Chains A and B, each alone.
Chain A
Amino acid sequence: AQSVAQPEDQVNVAEGNPLTVKCTYSVSGNPYLFWYVQYPNRGLQFLLKYITGDNLVKGSYGFEAEFNKSQTSFHLKKPSALVSDSALYFCAVRDRGKSWGKLQFGAGTQVVVTP
């Protein structure tokens, strides 16, 4: 069975500092990995995905994520955080088998960026 862990409920960072949101996964075979962001009372917005190839994936709004197969991790990063990055971030995994439609989400990490 596939699963996703986001070990931090909340990450606090000062504006202009680097932001990292951690994600580890468990899935048989090679996964597809995704990051989404959710603003209050809104749906989820897609940020980026890892399918194959280069371990460093670049996405929307200056975010990037690094896929590490040996550590089964897919951490989200931004070199310089903005106050507007304050939101709830979700990591998600999907396997490549028959049940590929089941996108499994982590519990979410609340990011708070202070001015």
Chain B
Amino acid sequence: EAGVTQSPTHLIKTRGQQATLRCSPISGHTSVYWYQQALGLGLQFLLWYDEGEERNRGNFPPRFSGRQFPNYSSELNVNALELEDSALYLCASSPAVAAAEAFFGQGTRLTVV
């Protein structure tokens, strides 16, 4: 069974540009989560999507946004990139059950120069 897949693996952008990160969940999982892992800051919750709707959002500015498609895959968009946005962005998926563990992808390493 395929795991959570994220693309691209690496992304280099210039300050002020936009970045789009993609995530395909495990088959049958309807919930998708996005996390930012910046150096020294741990894992910060970004967004939770379920059944195409945004269910919860972390303490990030509006330039971080996303969506979930009918096939449950998801996109994270970061507008007006800042140097501080450089981080590993992790996507996870799970069934829509609170007791279910989330399974993580390998991440997208975003570097803003």
Contact = CB atoms under 8 A, between A and B. Distances in A.
B90 interface: yes
B98 A96 contact: yes
Interface in B65-106: 88, 90, 92, 98-99, 101-106
Main secondary structure of the interface of B (DSSP, over half): strand
Nearest to A48: B101
Nearest to B37: A38
A90 B55 CA distance: 24
Interface in A27-79: 32, 34, 36, 41-46, 49, 51
B45 A100 contact: no
A105 interface: yes
Contact of A101 (B4, B31, B104, B107): B31
A94 interface: yes
B48 A106 contact: no
User: Looking at chain A, what size class is its interface with the partner chain?
Assistant: 20 to 34
Contacts of A51: 99
Nearest to A36: B104
Interface in B38-63: 42-43, 45, 48, 50, 55-56, 58
Given A90-B43, A104-B45, A105-B42, A99 B56 contact: yes
Given A41-B109, A103-B102, 13 more contacts: A32-B98, A41-B88, A44-B90, A45-B104, A46-B103, A99-B55, A99-B56, A101-B31, A101-B33, A101-B55, A102-B48, A102-B56, A104-B45
